[in-house]
C-alpha cells in the first residue's frame, strides 16, 4: 500500500472522529446508530472510529484492552459495519489511556533498562498485543486505514520499537498505516518513512495557523507522504479559539467562538494544496438533543453554527475536489 497512499485516501479527507472514548455498552445501540447517521449527514466521507484501552499509571506496562470499560470486539465490528453501510471510509483508531487521568503523552520509562524497574520493552510488548488485535479486526472488516498510536510524545523517540511494531502490523493488515503525532511534533519524528500517511493533532491557536502550517509544510515535504490532521477542532466555548487543545478551559458556551475557529482553520488549511483534510474532533456515540446544543460547550459541532459551516465546507470539497498534492 505504500506506493499509492494518495489514491487510497481520495482527493480529500472530509472526516470526523466518532465514538470516543469507546465506553462498553454505548456502541451498538439505537442512539449510536442515529449518531453515525447524523454525522454522515454533515458531508463526512471518512470516520476515525476511536476507542481507548487503559493502563493503570503512566509507568504501568500492561494495556488492559480486553477489559471494561473498553468497548468489546463485537461493538468495534458493529461500528465499522455501520459506518461502511453509510458509505464512509474507516480509520480504526485504538488508543491507550491512563486510568489515573495522566495524559498518554507522559507514558514513559528509563531510557536504559534498570533491574526492578518497568521497561519500554515490557510496555511495547503489551501495547503491541493491543494494536495487533485491532489490526486483525481492521483487516477482517476492510478498514481503509489503521492508526497505530496517538500523541505518544515520550514514546515517539523509541524509533526501533515503533518500526518493529509497524512491521508486525503490516504482516496482519494490508490497508494504510498512520501514526497520529501530537501538535508541534510533526517535524520531530524520525520514522515517518515507516507509515503511509503523516497525521497529527492540529490544535493550534487561532492566530498561529499560518506559522504552524509553514513549519508543517516543510516537515511533510521532507517525508514525501500525504498529510491530514487526524485530530483538529475547538470547543464551543469562550476563549477556546486561543487554546483549542484545552478541553477543561473555563468559559461560557459559545457557538460563535467555535464557528470563528472553524472558519479560520479551514481558510488557512484550504490555501495549502498539500493539506488533505481533517478527521475532526469529535462526534460522540450518544448525541445531545439539538435543543441543548447552545448550552453544550464541547468539541462536537452538532446543532451548532460550526456544524452548518462544516456541512457546506465538506460538501463543497467533495463536489469540487481538492487540489492535487
Among residues 324, 278, 264, the alpha carbon closest in space to that of 11 is found at 324
Q: How far apart are CA 244 and CA 298, in angstroms?
A: 11
Each residue's pLDDT, cut to its tens digit, for the chain (325 residues) gives: 344 676 688 899 999 999 999 999 999 999 999 999 999 999 999 999 999 999 999 999 999 999 999 999 999 999 999 999 999 999 999 999 999 999 999 999 999 999 999 999 999 999 999 999 999 999 999 999 999 999 999 999 999 999 999 999 999 999 999 999 999 999 999 999 999 999 999 999 999 999 999 999 999 999 999 999 999 999 999 999 999 999 999 999 999 999 999 999 999 999 999 999 999 999 999 999 999 999 999 999 999 999 999 999 999 998 876 444 3
DSSP state of 182: P
- The CATH number of whichever domain residue 131 belongs to comes to 3.20.20.80
Q: Is residue 223 included in any domain, yes or no?
A: yes
Per-residue model confidence (pLDDT) at position 8: 81
Q: How far apart are CA 219 and CA 227, in angstroms?
A: 10
Q: How far apart are CA 129 and CA 132, in angstroms?
A: 5
Q: Is residue 325 included in any domain, yes or no?
A: no
Q: Is residue 118 included in any domain, yes or no?
A: yes
Q: Which long-range contacts (C-beta less than 8 Å, at least 24 apart) are formed by 107-115?
A: 107/55, 107/58, 107/59, 107/152, 107/154, 107/155, 108/58, 108/59, 108/154, 108/155, 109/59
Per-residue model confidence (pLDDT) at position 320: 75
Overall number of domains in the chain:
1
Per-residue model confidence (pLDDT) at position 4: 61
Among residues 116, 112, 27, the alpha carbon closest in space to that of 76 is found at 27
Q: How far apart are CA 75 and CA 223, in angstroms?
A: 35
Q: Is residue 158 included in any domain, yes or no?
A: yes
Q: Is residue 26 included in any domain, yes or no?
A: yes
DSSP state of 194: G
Residue-range definition of the domain harbouring residue 87: 5-320
Q: Is residue 175 included in any domain, yes or no?
A: yes
Per-residue model confidence (pLDDT) at position 7: 64
Per-residue model confidence (pLDDT) at position 324: 42
Per-residue model confidence (pLDDT) at position 6: 63
Q: Which residues of 163-179 are buried (b: 16+ CB within 10 A; e: fewer)?
A: eebbeebbebbebbbbb
Q: How far apart are CA 315 and CA 190, in angstroms?
A: 35
Amino acid at each position: 500500500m505504500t506506493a499509492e497512499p494518495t489514491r487510497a485516501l481520495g482527493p480529500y479527507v472530509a472526516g470526523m472522529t466518532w465514538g470516543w472514548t469507546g465506553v462498553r455498552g454505548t456502541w451498538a445501540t439505537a442512539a449510536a446508530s442515529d449518531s453515525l447517521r447524523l454525522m454522515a449527514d454533515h458531508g463526512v466521507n471518512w470516520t476515525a472510529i476511536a476507542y481507548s484501552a487503559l493502563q493503570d499509571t503512566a509507568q504501568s506496562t500492561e494495556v488492559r484492552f480486553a477489559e471494561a470499560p473498553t468497548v468489546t470486539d463485537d461493538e468495534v465490528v458493529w461500528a465499522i459495519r455501520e459506518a461502511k453501510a453509510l458509505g464512509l471510509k474507516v480509520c480504526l483508531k485504538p488508543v491507550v489511556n491512563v486510568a489515573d487521568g495522566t495524559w498518554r503523552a507522559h507514558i514513559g520509562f528509563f531510557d536504559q533498562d534498570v533491574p526492578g524497574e518497568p521497561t519500554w520493552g515490557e510496555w511495547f510488548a503489551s501495547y503491541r498485543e493491543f494494536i495487533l488485535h485491532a489490526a486483525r479486526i481492521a483487516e477482517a472488516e476492510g478498514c481503509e486505514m489503521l492508526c497505530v498510536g496517538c500523541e505518544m510524545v515520550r514514546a515517539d523517540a523509541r524509533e526501533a520499537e515503533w518500526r518493529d511494531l509497524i512491521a508486525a502490523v503490516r504482516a496482519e493488515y494490508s490497508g494504510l498505516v498512520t501514526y497520529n503525532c501530537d501538535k508541534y511534533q510533526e517535524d520531530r519524528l524520525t520514522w515517518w518513512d515507516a507509515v503511509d500517511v503523516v497525521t497529527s493533532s492540529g490544535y493550534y491557536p487561532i492566530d498561529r495557523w499560518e506559522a504552524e502550517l509553514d513549519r508543517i509544510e516543510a516537515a511533510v515535504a521532507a517525508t514525501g507522504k500525504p498529510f491530514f490532521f487526524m485530530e483538529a477542532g475547538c470547543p464551543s466555548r469562550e476563549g477556546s479559539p486561543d487554546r483549542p487543545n484545552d478541553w477543561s478551559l473555563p468559559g461560557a458556551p459559545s457557538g460563535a467562538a467555535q464557528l470563528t475557529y472553524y472558519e479560520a482553520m479551514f481558510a488557512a488549511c484550504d490555501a495549502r494544496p498539500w493539506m488533505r483534510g481533517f478527521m475532526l474532533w469529535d462526534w460522540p456515540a450518544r448525541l445531545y438533543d439539538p435543543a441543548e446544543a447552545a448550552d453544550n460547550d464541547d468539541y462536537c459541532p452538532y446543532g451548532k453554527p460550526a456544524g452548518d459551516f462544516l456541512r457546506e465546507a465538506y460538501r463543497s470539497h467533495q463536489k469540487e475536489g481538492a487540489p492535487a498534492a
